[in-house]
Structure 1
């Protein structure tokens, strides 16, 4: 059975480390990575199966962190937030073809343009990467979800605040949250997509797919 856990951290908005992390995507990534085991090799996020997403609920901002190792919650700054962890094993076991689910994911929906003609003539094969919005972003998610073993029925696309660094020269990742309902078509592909994440921008809060039974309120 796939080993993965999901930790829900209700962030303390008055904590200085929380305020700092919410303003700096790289800082937040570093805080999240403190939950993973040390010495994971050249690609620690990938090796630790670390994915995360920021959600908002009536009680405030929630940080969701998925890992393939039990998280070391003692590495969080004291008072950072209230955290609880649950095993995702039962969810993976319940994934069967034909079941209906509700989903949520923050995706880095983007496409790469063709380079200008003069750059192509000079041998450049990759153009600029640009974010997608609206129907183009929804179409991106439909393609990605189909590859991941989901037949999407409904899509609500919500543009999120870009994941930015504290310096203007740092990377800026446009994020779109996708919510809706779907049918599981390929449980094996879906389990793999949940563990590895979907799309790019994973160090900046993209790619974590959450599922729940469609019948739950």
Structure 2
């Protein structure tokens, strides 16, 4: 059961302040909501995706592959409400218009000037370039089309990258929040994107795609 949990955070709580100041700490807190996972990609195995929501109160949206264990949250962390996404996933159909929102990390791999070759394929590894402005909008247009959506409208709002305690060594991404209306073109591709996330930086609050009927 894919679940979406909305957590209205208590900004006065010590654990909340620590998590909002350090996205690695936030990631560890949210992983406690899921069953224990082992292997090289525990976040992906748990189906964990999350993002911060704009508004007067600090709010988290957290998606997991199973119903979360909310008792694992620190005491006084906030008020949480969980929704089963199965009805939404089952309602997806080609031609249906949906409202969407996603905070993503638009990037492109450019090979020029990068001499490093992939150890298996032998191809040159592309240098990751972060996209903003019109380039970011064009990135989302391409990515949305590839995951089974045809955007009618797109608005892009730069979002601050979540802070990390060790900023010098932590990866950095340029995040953009995309909102708009889109028509569903492929339910299989779209369901995969909804449950697995879109783009990079999924451990840093990017990649969670949300849909709502118009």
User: Could you tell me which residue of structure 2 aligns to residue 92 of structure 1?
Assistant: 89
User: Could you tell me which residue of structure 1 aligns to residue 150 of structure 2?
Assistant: 151
- The CA RMSD measured in Å over matched residues stands at 1.8
User: Could you tell me which residue of structure 2 aligns to residue 14 of structure 1?
Assistant: 12
The answer to whether residue 26 in structure 2 is matched with residue 28 in structure 1 is: yes
Residues 53 and 59 in structure 2, CA contact (< 8 A), matched pair in contact too: yes
- CA 196–124 in structure 1, closer or farther in 2 if over 3 Å, else same: closer
Count residues with an aligned counterpart: 209
TM-score computed with the length of structure 2 as normaliser = 0.92
Residues 101 and 179 in structure 2, CA contact (< 8 A), matched pair in contact too: yes
The answer to whether residue 209 in structure 2 is matched with residue 203 in structure 1 is: no
Residues 5 and 88 in structure 1, CA contact (< 8 A), matched pair in contact too: yes
Q: Which runs of 5+ in 1 are unaligned?
A: none
User: Could you tell me which residue of structure 2 aligns to residue 105 of structure 1?
Assistant: 102
CA distance in 2, matches of 1:141, 1:18: 31
TM-score computed with the length of structure 1 as normaliser = 0.91
Q: Of residues 67, 72, 80 in structure 1, which corresponds to 2:69? A: 72
CA distance in 2, matches of 1:125, 1:164: 31
Q: Using the TM superposition, give the Cα deviation of residue 198 of structure 1 relative to its aligned residue in structure 2, in angstroms.
A: 0.6
Residues 40 and 48 in structure 1, CA contact (< 8 A), matched pair in contact too: no
Q: Using the TM superposition, give the Cα deviation of residue 124 of structure 1 relative to its aligned residue in structure 2, in angstroms.
A: 8.4
Instruction: Specify the SS of the correspondent of 2:135.
Output: helix
Q: Which runs of 5+ in 2 are unaligned?
A: none
CA distance in 2, matches of 1:127, 1:198: 19
Q: Deviations over 1:26-66 (max 9, x none)?
A: 111111111110134332111111110110224x1210110
Instruction: Specify the SS of the correspondent of 2:59.
Output: strand
